[in-house]
């Protein structure tokens, strides 16, 4: 039976709020600080709706210079969790073979010799380390509280995104490049490969449709590694919230870069404006405002570029109701997923969220917003079907794209040039 969540009453929320204040004021351990924020969702101004709390109460947020593409880390440069985010070459099972030069992925970090970041014969993929972090998130009225800590302070702190089918992982590996399926049928994350359903980048919509259904993508992911996953789910919620905290803004295109969100061309020969996976310099982050360039967040072009929708089957919408999988269970019907009770009536920009235990936030419909207000990202909905979630948006979605963009508008078997998928690998479990 699917699990259904229930919203706590006001007395419970007031008690939770009081306990959180006590936690922040008296229990912040110096070796593992609690970083956090309140997103005042009734405030639609992306620049003022985020309030810092915890160890970062007086921090200067990070800011991207869109002209030089250089990130100013503000007060966040010494955060150990952020420093642990490194680019690597990982083998088929997700084991780390070696680290890449953070400013030039074509080189190995250890000695500057040539890396395998563009080598299709390499037995593995270019990935980036995301260290485990514990999240405590809840709402009081229209205020969403989000707290992060690198150790489990209380049972309220959950490893959101790091629980893989009941096994907690110390890190996850996210894709540095958009997923493509190679000649052997494996999903890859490599520079120099096309970001479609095939390594060559098919220019025919009808042919591409035969390659990029959800099930075909799942087969390619599992052929790469039986434990590999779609890049999405709870981890993407955690990373989006961390980006909001780092930049103190819910407009992720404005704060981190617009990627390729307006690169669409109505020409199949030009592959609709999509481009081959490309190595980008500049370290951990690279942002631009031209809306026609590869960008990156946490060393991942997939997080920063908004070029191809990312299939996320760990969330589905069944007749308008959102159902989610906190631990990467794969069920395209949603029958075994958590029933959030959240119903979205139509396409819109949504400024409010529902917090789902163990999963993070999903959009709610109380307050609508726009490309420049609230979370600034669009949600597409077809409440008449069982729809598989798409995340981050494509090069034809312009200002509607970003870290909070979602589409619940297509069934699992639908396929198109812009319906991509990328690889997520858990830390291997040792025997």
How many CB atoms lie under 10 A from the CB of residue 378?
Answer: 23
236 in a structural domain: yes
pLDDT for position 198: 47
Strand partners, 348: 379
284 in a structural domain: yes
207 in a structural domain: yes
- Sole residue written with tokens 């996953």: 229
List per-block mean pLDDT (blocks of 10 residues) for the chain, which spans 431 residues. Answer: 52 62 58 91 97 96 97 97 98 97 97 97 98 96 96 94 97 96 91 69 50 88 97 98 98 98 88 91 96 98 96 97 98 97 95 97 96 97 96 96 97 90 93 43
pLDDT for position 431: 43
19 in a structural domain: no
Residue 195's closest CA among 330, 380, 392? 392
pLDDT for position 12: 58
How much of the chain is helix, strand and coil, in % rounded to 5?
Answer: 15, 30, 50
73 in a structural domain: no
Per the structure block, which two tokens stand in for 99? 């680290």
pLDDT for position 247: 98
pLDDT for position 13: 56
pLDDT for position 194: 86
Cα of first residue to Cα of last residue in the chain, in angstroms, is 32
pLDDT for position 11: 57
13 in a structural domain: no
Q: What is the DSSP letter of 350?
A: E
372 in a structural domain: no
Note down the domain range covering 197. 82-131+169-307+420-426
Task: Count up the domains in the chain and report the number.
Answer: 1
57 in a structural domain: no
What pLDDT digit, counting tens, does each position of 206-243 carry? 455 456 889 989 999 999 999 999 999 999 999 999 99
Give the Cα separation of 59 and 190 in Å (integer).
36
Q: What are the phi and psi torsion angles at 136 (to 5°)? A: -125, 110
Q: Could you tell me the pTM of the whole model?
A: 0.93
Give the Cα separation of 343 and 323 in Å (integer).
10
């Amino acid at each position: 039976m699917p699990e259904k969540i229930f919203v706590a009453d006001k007395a419970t929320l007031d008690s939770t709020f009081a306990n959180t204040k006590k936690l922040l004021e008296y229990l912040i351990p110096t070796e593992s600080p609690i970083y956090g924020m309140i997103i005042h969702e009734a405030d639609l101004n992306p620049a003022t709706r985020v309030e810092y709390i915890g160890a970062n109460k007086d921090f200067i947020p990070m800011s991207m210079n869109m002209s030089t593409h250089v990130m100013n880390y503000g007060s966040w440069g010494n955060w150990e969790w952020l420093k642990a985010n490194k680019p690597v070459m990982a083998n088929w099972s997700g084991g780390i073979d070696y680290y890449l030069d953070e400013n030039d992925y074509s080189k190995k970090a250890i000695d500057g010799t040539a890396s395998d970041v563009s080598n299709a014969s390499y037995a593995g993929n270019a990935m980036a380390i995301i260290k485990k972090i514990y999240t405590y998130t809840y709402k009081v009225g229209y205020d969403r509280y989000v707290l992060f800590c690198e150790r489990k302070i209380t049972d309220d702190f959950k490893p959101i995104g790091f629980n893989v089918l009941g096994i907690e992982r110390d890190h996850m590996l996210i894709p540095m490049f958009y997923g493509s399926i190679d000649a052997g049928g494996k999903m890859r994350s490599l520079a120099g490969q096309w970001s479609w359903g095939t390594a060559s980048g098919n220019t025919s919509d009808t042919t591409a449709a035969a390659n990029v259904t959800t099930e075909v993508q799942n087969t390619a992911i599992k052929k790469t590694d039986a434990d590999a996953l779609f890049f999405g789910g709870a981890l993407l919620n955690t990373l989006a919230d961390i980006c909001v905290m780092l930049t103190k803004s819910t407009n992720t295109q404005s704060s981190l870069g617009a990627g390729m969100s307006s690169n669409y061309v109505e020409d199949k020969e030009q592959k609709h404006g999509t481009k081959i996976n490309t190595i980008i310099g500049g370290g951990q982050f690279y942002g631009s405002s031209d809306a026609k360039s590869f960008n990156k967040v946490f060393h991942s072009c997939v997080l920063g570029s908004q070029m191809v929708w990312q299939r996320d089957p760990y969330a589905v919408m069944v007749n308008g109701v959102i159902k989610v999988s906190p631990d990467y269970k794969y069920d395209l019907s949603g029958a075994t997923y958590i029933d959030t009770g959240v119903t979205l009536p139509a396409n819109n920009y949504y400024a409010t969220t529902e917090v789902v235990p163990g999963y993070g936030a999903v959009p709610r419909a109380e307050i609508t917003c726009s490309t420049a207000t609230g979370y600034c990202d669009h949600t597409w909905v077809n409440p008449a079907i069982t729809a598989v979630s798409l995340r981050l948006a494509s090069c034809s979605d312009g200002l509607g794209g970003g870290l909070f963009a979602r589409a619940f508008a297509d069934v699992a078997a639908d396929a198109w040039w812009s319906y991509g998928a990328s690889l997520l690998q858990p830390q291997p479990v040792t025997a």
